[in-house]
Amino acid sequence: MSSQEKTQHISKCLQLAILLEVSAEKPGNVNLSSSFEATTCQHFLASAVAVGPSFQEAANRGVLVAEGKLGVSEVGLGQLIRNCVSEVTSWQRGGNTILGTIMLFAPIAVAAGMTPTGKDFSLDLAALRRNIDLVVRSTTPLDSVYLYEAVDIANPSGLGKAPDLDVNDPASKQRLIQENVTLFEVFKLGASYDDICSEWVNNFPVTFNLAFPYLTEQLKSKTANTAVVQTFLKILSKRPDTFIARKVGKEMAGIVSSDAKAVLELGGLETEGGQAALKRFDQKLRATQNKCNPGTTADLTAAALALCTLSGYRP
């Protein structure tokens, strides 16, 4: 297996994960049958196409690290994220689609490139997880600046105001360099109120410990749509969505989480009662004019799907 074959394989796995996530009929989110006012499923499909070259480059830099040709602190994770977001923005007009997913997938792509694979492209997930941790802990202040630029480009809603080094403050980028603040340290600042940041600094606990094992079990006997929706509900029932919390408060995020738990306890997509409850739940979320769309939960679901596709799952 050549390095090019490996990096292409990793990129395709991550692109497939994005496609599987957005095509599943998750409540309160864009999917094949439901859209937001300015964002449709087609915008996400275009985004999945756009990220391919960036993910392949991220994997290639991981390969170079494994070969001793590049230092792990020289990977340029922030630049990879910014370039990926820029490509996504240039390929669709639906606004921010997958910023959170990109922030989770970029270190996964680099780490996958670093991790030895078998002839069938299989890889050791424990080794992958160790490499992810190494990659994010080896980031630099310049990575932080690039990440802030990526956020500027994506212009996501619901950011809120950070207590320090706020991404909306023009002076923050200069401070990142002056105060030598690495991207890992930036994410530490946000870990208490943003689950993307929390995944980074705690070695992806929701992805590896909760979402991936549950999704893997679901995929053994269910369709991809059912497995993904059930996994989405499982994550949301355990973790109040931090995107919702930032937009409308922790109390509402907790209510949404409780609602997801109730739907899951009724069977979700697997029973008539669960399906009816899921429909009501979806309608309730959409009635808030997208203020209660569980976007972070969707990103975490996508990360679990990435581990599945990298492990060999195919729909």
- pTM across the whole model: 0.96
DSSP one-letter string for 138-179: T--HHHHHHHHHHHHHH--S-----SSS-TT-TTHHHHHHHT
| Residues 295-313: tens digit of each pLDDT | 999 999 999 999 999 999 9
Total residues belonging to the chain: 315
Taking residues 143-151, report their average pLDDT.
95
Q: Reduce the DSSP state of residue 291 to 3 states and report it.
A: coil
| Residues 155-176: tens digit of each pLDDT | 886 566 666 787 878 889 999 9
Q: Among 73-77, 174-178, 209-213, where is mean pLDDT lowest?
A: 174-178
The pLDDT value recorded for residue 162 is 67
Domains and CATH numbers, the chain: 3-310 (1.10.4200.10)
Taking residues 285-298, report their average pLDDT.
87
Taking residues 262-268, report their average pLDDT.
97
Q: Are 197 and 157 in contact (CB under 8 A)?
A: no
Q: Among 25-34, 230-239, 272-281, 294-303, where is mean pLDDT lowest?
A: 25-34
How far apart (Å, rounded) are the C-alpha atoms in residues 72 and 63?
A: 10
Q: Are 172 and 148 in contact (CB under 8 A)?
A: yes
